[in-house]
Every structure is written in C-alpha cells, then in structure tokens.
Amino acid sequence: MPRIGSIRPSVRLALLRWYRRCGRAGLPWRRKRSPYRTLVSEFMLQQTQVERVVPAFEAFVVRFPTLASLAAARRADVLRAWRGLGYNARAVRLHEVARIVVSEHGGRIPRDAEQLRALPGIGTYTAAAIRAFAFALDDLPIDVNIARVLHRLGRRARTALGRGGYAVVSALMDLGAHLCKRRNPDCVRCPIERYCEKKPLPARPRSAKGVRFRETARYARGRIVDRLRELPPGKRISLLDLHGDLPK
Ligand code: SF4
C-alpha cells in the first residue's frame, strides 16, 4: 500500500499551505470527520461527482445519523434516501456493510485494511481512503487524479522519510481535480510546480497565424538582406556561408 509519508516533506508542506488557501476543506465529510461519515461519503463518491454527492450526503446523514441507525433501517428506506445518486447497488452494499459491522465488529468500523477489504463494496482504494480519512493512518488512496499528479511529480517528490496526514490526501485530490488536469494542467498556479518533473513545457509565443515569426520566409529574407548589406563593396559570399551566418 502506498504511504502518504513516501511523499517528500517539502512537497507535503507546499500542498498543505495551498490546501489551506484553496482546498475544499468545507466539504461536509471533511468538515466533520468520523468513520461512519467517511464510509458513507466514500460509497457515494465511488461513481458520482462531488457536486451531486454533497446534498445527497447531507440528507443521508440526517436520515441515518449513525451506523447503527443505518443497519437497523429497512432496505427500501435506504434506497429511498439514495435517490438521485444512481447505481443503487452501492446503497445495497453500504447497508450490508452497516449490518455486518454491527453484527461482527461490535458496531465499530474496523481500521484494519484486510478486515475493511473483506466488507462488501470495499476494495483497496476505499479501504485506504477510510484508513486515511477516518483513522488518520498513513495510507495513500490513489484515484485517477492522485495517480496523475504523482506520475507527473516523478521521483523528486518521493522520499522514504516522514509521515503525512489526511489533509495531504485531500490536497492531492483537489490539486488533481482543479489544477493538474489531464489536459492543460494549470502549472502556473501549482503549489508544487518546482518539484514536478513532467510539467508540460510552456508554449512559445506564436504569430497570429500560428507560426513563429522566426520560422517565416519574411524573417529569413530580412536576415539575408542584413547579411548582404554588411559585406564590403565587391565582396561575395557563397550560399553555404550565407546559410551558416544566418541566426538559427
Ligand atoms: S506543475 Fe503542472 S503537471 Fe506538475 S503537478 Fe503541478 S499542475 Fe501538475
């Protein structure tokens, strides 16, 4: 399992500073954290965008404020509370998880990765997310956004030292979602740009037609005329030498 602590401390610090200014710390499952709220949010976020999850999550935890209340609910009521999110199989599995945790784990969501992965609907990513967000453990859940950021950062951002925190994961998620996008990453505003190995090269200015002026025939003609003007009267120059004298 990848570790948050494997990210270089200076990168984590830059991420945390940026997260304090620009991150989505106000998301309801981040603002107030508990294993149950993390579990619900992770199930909802599996196939639904954050913006749609926010109101559904808030209504769901009002309807079922605790894991025990969810476990005791009727399946039909759980599905009703899931309305609008789609992929109802997630609601069924979440309900199953609540029932199993009550019957087999004394009502406490396990923090052990293997026990988590043994529950319905919880794979490697969700187990790592629950361990990082709910229990502040060092697991690094890698979704597509985080994978992209880590890939672009490259080895310079890694270290075997230090520990991280769930806020680092949140920052990485937000960075991947808002700045380090698949196309056209916003590297100018990126807080960890100086550590990034694979940031795209800045585009060079181009003329209105999309061709750099130095690449045009007009530019070449001007340089040839300049060079010929510099020749003393009567002096000749071969095409080869002229070509060699032109600025590249
Ligand atoms: S510098 Fe650009 S490519 Fe690198 S992590 Fe930041 S946004 Fe992504």
Task: Please choose, from the candidates 145, 106, 107, 110, the residue with its C-alpha nearest in 3D space to the C-alpha of residue 130.
Answer: 110
Residue that the structure tokens 């309801």 belong to: 28
What pLDDT is stored for residue 160 in this prediction?
Answer: 39
Q: Is the domain of 87 the same as that of 168?
A: yes
* Closest atom of ligand 1 to CA, residue 176: 8
Using one digit for the tens of pLDDT, what is the confidence trace for 211-234? 666 667 777 777 777 777 777 777
Query: CATH number for the domain including 31?
Result: 1.10.340.30
In the reported structure, the alpha carbon of residue 148 is separated from the centroid of ligand 1 by a whole-number distance in angstroms of: 9
User: Best substitution site from 145, 192, 195, 197 to test ligand 1's pocket, by max atoms within 8 Å of Cβ?
Assistant: 192
User: Does 68 score more than 50 pLDDT?
Assistant: yes
DSSP structural state of residue 208: T
The response to whether residue 179 sits with its C-beta less than 6 Å from ligand 1 reads: yes
The response to whether residue 152 sits with its C-beta less than 6 Å from ligand 1 reads: yes
Amino acid identity of residue 30, one-letter, is R
Q: Of the given ranges (79-83, 109-113, 185-189, 241-245), which has the lowest mean pLDDT?
A: 241-245
The sign of the torsion formed by the CA atoms of 112, 33, 120, 77 equals positive
pLDDT above 90 as % of the chain = 54
159: region left, alpha or beta (phi > 0 left; psi from -120 to 50 alpha): beta
The structure's pTM equals 0.74
The structural domain count of the chain equals: 2
User: Does 5 score more than 90 pLDDT?
Assistant: no
**Within a domain: 206:** no
**Within a domain: 183:** yes
What pLDDT is stored for residue 174 in this prediction?
Answer: 94
C-alpha distances out from residue 135 to 19, 34, 66, Å? 20, 8, 17
Task: pLDDT band for 169, please (50, 70, 90 cuts).
Answer: confident
Geometric angle at alpha carbon 120, from 115 and 121, rounded to 5°: 110
The sign of the torsion formed by the CA atoms of 211, 214, 215, 218 equals positive
Task: Please choose, from the candidates 3, 14, 9, the residue with its C-alpha nearest in 3D space to the C-alpha of residue 191.
Answer: 14
How large is the average pLDDT for residues 44-72? 96
Spatial contact of 163 and 5, defined as CB atoms under 8 Å apart: yes
Domain that holds residue 106: 4-195
What pLDDT is stored for residue 118 in this prediction?
Answer: 98
Spatial contact of 1 and 140, defined as CB atoms under 8 Å apart: yes
Question: Would you call 197 a catalytic residue per the annotation?
Answer: no
Task: pLDDT band for 161, please (50, 70, 90 cuts).
Answer: very low
Q: Is the domain of 187 the same as that of 122?
A: yes
**Per the structure block, which two tokens stand in for 244?**
């060699």
